[in-house]
Amino acid sequence: MKYDLQLCIGSRLRRLSRIADGHFRSKLSEFNITENQMTILFVLNKMGKVEQGKIGQELVLERSTISRNIKLLEKQNYIKRTSDYRPEIELSKKGNELVQNLIPLWEETMDELILKLGKSGLTHLTELENSLN
Amino acid sequence: MKYDLQLCIGSRLRRLSRIADGHFRSKLSEFNITENQMTILFVLNKMGKVEQGKIGQELVLERSTISRNIKLLEKQNYIKRTSDYRPEIELSKKGNELVQNLIPLWEETMDELILKLGKSGLTHLTELENSLN
DNA sequence: AACACAATGTTGTATATACAACTTATAAAT
DNA sequence: ATTTATAAGTTGTATATACAACATTGTGTT
């Protein structure tokens, strides 16, 4: 083989994302929510009332993934949606409160990860994004 | 918020792995196999006959993930396993042939990705791994 | 040898993701 | 305005993953 299997860029990136997810997940154990859902809540917190599709654009997620996550978040009353076919989504009061509770945990996790990565690590991540787009 | 949401290390790494996976997946469309399964086949190709658990160690994958993948690969007769409770796994003849066909595709994909990443990109990836472990 | 404990494998459940098929709504073209 | 095409949402299916519960096998202690 031309390259060593250990170099496989796919499995390496998969592993890295599992590691990072694990950090966030361990902080979320008391909440009935996932890393991905947390990110969606944060997007809503930032963007206010938006069309569902905008969330996917922001996070580069499949429509179906967004659709199902929105449904899960709605089931727990963290978000409200208009009844249109292309609904507009926004945080509910309960969702807003959750976000306020999640932010410090998210920040702690980011602190943790940034401590591990260092400034140069963050640069490496940014560079990877720039070249892989 | 202390950090910009765009900086979320979790969602960024998830996105990167989705991108890389997409490259591999597009090459695998003619095969009835996934990126992850391909990696497992490559591990078996490299390691020969191994205990199932060793595969998980090598790729840092959950036992359950390995267990299910092994079952899928066995269903297609790409691997053989002893009938022990802790079985030893190895490539079948058919699996070996598949690996020979997969290697050039994998190498093409690696070429593609490395072209995008450049030498410095590979360094960035390695550095991320070193700091995130 | 008998028991306790640790490691490994399997299975159930839930979410994440991709992709395809389908539905519905909007935009474009005539 | 009606038709056509495009964009967006939903749902089905399959795998990836985490985690918990359980089963099985080894190991170690006594």
Predicted pLDDT of residue A83: 85
On the 0-12 / 13-18 / 19+ scale of CB atoms within 10 A, A69 is buried
Q: What CA–CA distance (Å, rounded) separates A16 from A69?
A: 23
**How far does the CA of B107 sit from the C1' of D16, in Å?**
23
pLDDT in tens, B61-90: 999 999 999 999 999 999 999 988 889 999
Answer for B39: CB within 7 Å of strand D.
no
> pLDDT tens, A73-109?
999 999 999 988 889 999 999 999 999 999 999 999 9
Give how far B36 is from chain A: nearest CA, Å. Answer: 7
User: pLDDT by residue (tens digit) across B2-58?
Assistant: 888 889 999 999 999 999 999 999 999 999 999 999 999 999 999 999 999 999 999
Chain D nucleotides with an atom closer than 7 Å to a protein C-beta: 7-13, 15-20, 24-26
Strand C contact with B21 (CB < 7 A)? yes
Looking up tokens 């597009």, which residue turns up?
B26
| Least Cα separation, residue B57 to chain A (angstroms) | 12
Q: Do A127 and B116 touch (CB under 8 A)?
A: no
Q: Is the pLDDT of residue A27 over 90?
A: yes
Of A72, A7, A6, A87, nearest to A33 (Cα)?
A: A72
The token duo for B53 is 């658990």
- The rounded mean pLDDT for chain A is 94
Helix (H, G, I), strand (E, B) or coil at A105: helix
